[in-house]
Amino acid sequence: MEVSAIDFKITSPVLILSAGAFLLLMNEVTAKSSKIRHGITALTLVAAILMLFCVRGSFEIGTTAFGGLVYGDPFTFLVSMIILIGSLTAYILGARSLEKEGISSIGEYYSLFLMSIAGAIVLISARELILLFVGLEIMSIALYTMCALNLWSSRSSEAGLKYFLLGSFSSAIFLYGISLLYGLTGSLFIPEIAGLLITDGAQSNIVLYAALGFILTGFGFKIGLVPFHFWIPDVYQGAPTAVTAFMACVIKAAAVSVALRGMWVLFGEPNIFANWTDLIWILSVLTMTLGNLIALRQRSVKRMLAYSSIAHAGYMFVAFLAPNSGGGPAVMFYLVAYMIMTFGAFGVVMAVSDSAPAGTEGDHITRFNGLGFKNPVLGVFMTIFIFSLAGLPPGLAGFLGKFYLFSAAVKANYIGLVIIAVINSAISCYYYLRVLVAMYFTESENDSTVTVNIPMFGALTACAVAALFLGMFPSQLHELSIAATSSFGFVVP
């Protein structure tokens, strides 16, 4: 296999991230400088974003790299950019929070952080199933350790152990699904498998549907679909808040994106597609309903956002049933909107938690009492993020995101599913607005002030502006999403 310049252009972000992770480890065994540590992390993320932007012309429909192992299409470019910008946001928001929560191995954390991002990009760009699995494991193994890095917290250790055990089990199931597909088709390349399933008349083979079930289980675990969601609340609450925000936004975006392409390309043949739509319908309803109902009972805002993320996964899977009605662009638009509003909400939670006295539950709902008066700017930011997550007023990204999702499903004639989703959105308003009641209508019982540093304030401002901007001017991102998902080349009814 000859290596060309296009191969390095398409994979340049992964190479930059890997080099940055190596330099961070070298710093830890030599200088151990905090400034160098943060400088390497920030420069690596910025360099990866700039490099990806500079080589954007190489990402065209049908382009591959390294002998067809890696996709180099517009979808890969868009999702890679979303992952990298989201990761930079996670770094800025979480820099102070990590030190406040007592993470002593900061250098090792950032090295794992960069490797997890590299694994996520490999995952979403893989055109071959073994490479896809390798990307999944690079991303996941780094995350297992990041969740447990707060060595003085039993919750953090529990979160890391639970995620490791359940994640390893789901990876084994996913790998078994890959082996069944290989045994059925004799190929590991995603487009070739899709073509063989059409030409060989494998649609009636029960092995195919067993493979579909195992692969969907692997995707469902990473995304947090019911009934594969049980790890999310404990892991999200026990892990450092910076890790939780990263997982809820960046990792979920990577998992949803690879599931979208995987399910539509691998199992998009009309007869196969028709046999898994009912399953997706059921999973979507269970996920959004259970996530919202359990979120109603939460007093921890961090845990509430964990169950909220489960509900949002259910909303996104509504559009998986509408590939010919704008479902792909709707999912991509909603992913960006979801990341913006979720990063913003977690950023405010970090600020409030960091100001809490030692030994107290910093993310409890009572910590938000009077926040709108103690720190009016944070109160306004949280109001924007909460309204956007609830999908309430026109003019915010969350509202338009749900509009695109539900419109695509209605066009595909899934009206009953959309009605259930709208009812669930109404239910979610109760626990979202409870945060606003605490901020503006409940007196604070403590005199502690909530402060943010300049980088965090800048990131929160960017998230708030982006939520407003996408709500008022959605066309450019939506058009990019249409161009990206049109490069799939899937076959659907």
DSSP 447-466: -------HHHHHHHHHHHHH
Q: What is the CA radius of gyration of the chain?
A: 22
E-state strands within 295-433 = none
Q: Which pTM value belongs to this model?
A: 0.93
27 vs 33: CA distance, rounded Å:
7
Provide the sign of the torsion angle of the four alpha carbons 217, 234, 385, 440, taken in this order.
positive
Look at residue 263 in the predicted model and tell me its pLDDT.
87
Would the pLDDT of 359 be above 70?
A: no
Q: Which of 125, 142, 128 is nearest to 192 (CA)?
A: 128
Would the pLDDT of 441 be above 70?
A: yes
Can you tell me which residue has the tokens 């193994």? 141
Tens digits of per-residue pLDDT, 1-11?
A: 667 788 888 99
Q: Which of 462, 443, 329 is nearest to 384 (CA)?
A: 462
Apex 437 CA angle, 401 and 444, nearest 5: 135
What would the two tokens of residue 65 be?
A: 């790299």
Under 8 Å CB-to-CB from 200, ≥6 apart: which residues? Answer: 185
283 vs 277: CA distance, rounded Å:
10
390 vs 204: CA distance, rounded Å:
42
461 vs 478: CA distance, rounded Å:
23
Q: What is the mean pLDDT of the chain?
A: 87
Tens digits of per-residue pLDDT, 101-152?
A: 777 778 888 999 999 999 999 999 999 999 999 999 999 999 999 888 877 7
189 vs 187: CA distance, rounded Å:
6
Look at residue 2 in the predicted model and tell me its pLDDT.
66
The answer to whether 244 and 302 have CB atoms below 8 angstroms apart is yes
The answer to whether 405 and 414 have CB atoms below 8 angstroms apart is no
